[in-house]
Amino acid sequence: MQEQRASAETQERQRRRSVARSEEHDVSAQRAADLEQQLEVLRRQKASEVEHTKNDKELVTMQLQMQSTAKELLDCQKRMQELQNNSINEHQLATKAQLELDSKSQELHEWQNLYPQKMCELEKQMLNLEHDAAQGQEYHKRAQEKELHAQELQAELQAQQALQEQLRLQLQDDGRDEELRELRQSRQMICEGAAEEIRQQEYQMQVLESSEQQAQQLAMRQLQEWQHWHTEEMAHLEWERDVAARTKESLKEELQESTRQEMEAKERRIRELEAQMVRPAQAPDYSYEEKWDGQAHDSGGQAVQPAHSGHGDGSDHSEHFDLTEVSDSEPPVVTAAPDYVACAGDDVDQRLAEEIAALGPGMLRGNELTRTASSKYKFVEKKIFLKLIDGHVNVRDKGNHVPLAAWLEAALAESTEAADEDIQLGTGPYAEHM
C-alpha cells in the first residue's frame, strides 16, 4: 500500500509540474504576443512620424533598432521552442523513471504475494511433523504400557516358577514327573512369547524414533534454506528500492534546477527586450514620450523602465544587448562534509553516523539532525526516538519501529511535497514571475 501511495503521489507531482510548465509556456507565449503587438504599434508610429518629420537620420536609427528588436524577438521565440523541446524530453525521462519504479513495485508485490504461500506450505509441513511427533509419542506410550505388561508377565512367570519349584519338590516324592514337564513346557512358551513381543515393541520404537529424527532434520534444513533465501531477497529489494528512490530524487532535482534556470533566463531576456523596445519610442518632443508612457505597461500592470536614452544630443547612439551570452563556467568542486558526525560515545549515536554515511553524501538534503538526549534526536522539526534492533538503527513511528533509511525517505518525501505545493500555490521565490 505504501508503494502504491508513493507512486500515486509521484504521478500527481509530475502532473502538477507538467501543468506548471504548460502555464509558464503559455505566459511566455502571451508575452511574446504582447511584444509583437508593441512592435506593430512602433511600426505604425514610425510610419506616422515619417509623414510628419524629415529627420532621416533618426528614422534610419529607429529602423535599425526595430530590425535588431525583431531579430531578438525571433531568437527569443527559437529559444522558447528549444525550452519546450527540453521540457518534453525531461518529461519523457521522468515517465521512464516512473515506469521503472512501477516495474520494481510490481516485482515487490509479486514477491509479497508469494511469501504467504510459502509460509502456508511451511506451516503445513510443521503441522504434519507435529502430527507425526504426536503419533510417535502415542506409540511410545503404548510401548511403555506393553513393557509394563511384559514386566507383569515376568512377575507372573516368576511366581509360576516358584510354584513349579514347590510342586517339583512335592512331586519328587510322589513321582509326578509328567505334570512337571508340562508345566516346564508351558513356562517356556510363555517366556518365548513375552520375549518376542518385547523385541517387536523395541523394533517399532527404534523405527519411530529414526523417522521422527529424519523428519525434524529435513524440516530444519528447509526452514534454514528458506530463511537464507528470504534474507537475500529482502536485502536485494531494499537495495533496488534505495537505488530507485535516489534516481528519482536526482532526476527531480535536476528537473527543478533546469526549470529554474530556464525561467530566470526567459525573464531576463524578456525584460531586456522590453527595455530595448521602450528605448526607440523616446523622441525629443515630450508629446511622443507621453504617448509611449501610456503603452509601456505589460499585461500584469507593471511599468517597464527604459534602460538608457541616446536622444539627448541628437547623435546616432544605440546600445546592443547580447541576449544569447550564457556563462558556461562550472563552480569549483568542493568536498562535501559528512551529513552527521557522532557526538556521543553510545552505540546508537555511533551506528547512526555510520548508516547515514553509508547512504551517501547529501542524503539529509541540507536538513539538520541534532541529538537532544540519549537515543532522542530532532530532524525537520520532528522529535524522534531511535533504537538498535539486530545491529541496525530503527525509528519509532506510531508505535512501530521503522528502519532508518525507509523513515528518512518518507520524511524527506513529505518535505519535498510540501515545497512543491508552495511553488504550485505561488508562495515560493519565483511567485512574482508566474
Domain residue ranges of the chain, discontinuous segments joined by +? 122-229, 341-434
- The pLDDT score that the predictor gives to residue 73 is 82
- The pLDDT score that the predictor gives to residue 421 is 64
| CB within 8 Å of 14: residues ≥ 6 apart | 91, 94, 95, 98
Please tell me the distance from the alpha carbon of residue 171 to that of residue 321, in angstroms, as a whole number.
Answer: 146
- The pLDDT score that the predictor gives to residue 289 is 41
Look up residue 243 and give its three cell numbers. 537505488
Q: Is 146 helix (H, G, I), strand (E, B) or coil?
A: helix
Q: What's the CA dihedral at 246, 247, 250, 251 to 10 degrees?
A: -150
pLDDT by residue for the chain (434 residues), tens digit each? 677 777 788 888 888 888 887 788 788 788 888 888 888 888 888 777 666 665 667 677 777 878 888 888 888 788 888 888 887 887 888 888 888 888 887 888 888 787 778 788 888 888 888 888 888 788 788 878 888 888 888 888 888 888 878 777 776 656 566 777 788 888 888 888 888 888 888 898 888 888 888 888 888 888 888 888 888 888 888 888 888 888 888 888 888 888 889 889 888 888 888 888 887 655 444 444 444 444 444 434 443 344 343 444 444 444 444 444 444 444 444 456 788 888 888 899 999 999 999 988 888 888 889 999 989 999 988 899 999 999 999 999 888 999 999 999 888 888 777 666 655 555 544 444 44
- The pLDDT score that the predictor gives to residue 350 is 92
Look up residue 28 and give its three cell numbers. 511566455
Look up residue 144 and give its three cell numbers. 511403555
Query: Could you tell me the CATH superfamily of domain 341-434?
Result: Gas2-like domain (3.30.920.20)
DSSP state of 386: E
- Residue holding cell 511622443? 288
- Tell whether the torsion through CA atoms of 198, 203, 205 and 206 is positive or negative: positive
Please tell me the distance from the alpha carbon of residue 62 to that of residue 253, in angstroms, as a whole number.
Answer: 45
- The pLDDT score that the predictor gives to residue 404 is 92
Please state, as a whole number, how many other Cβ atoms lie within 10 Å of the Cβ of residue 262: 20
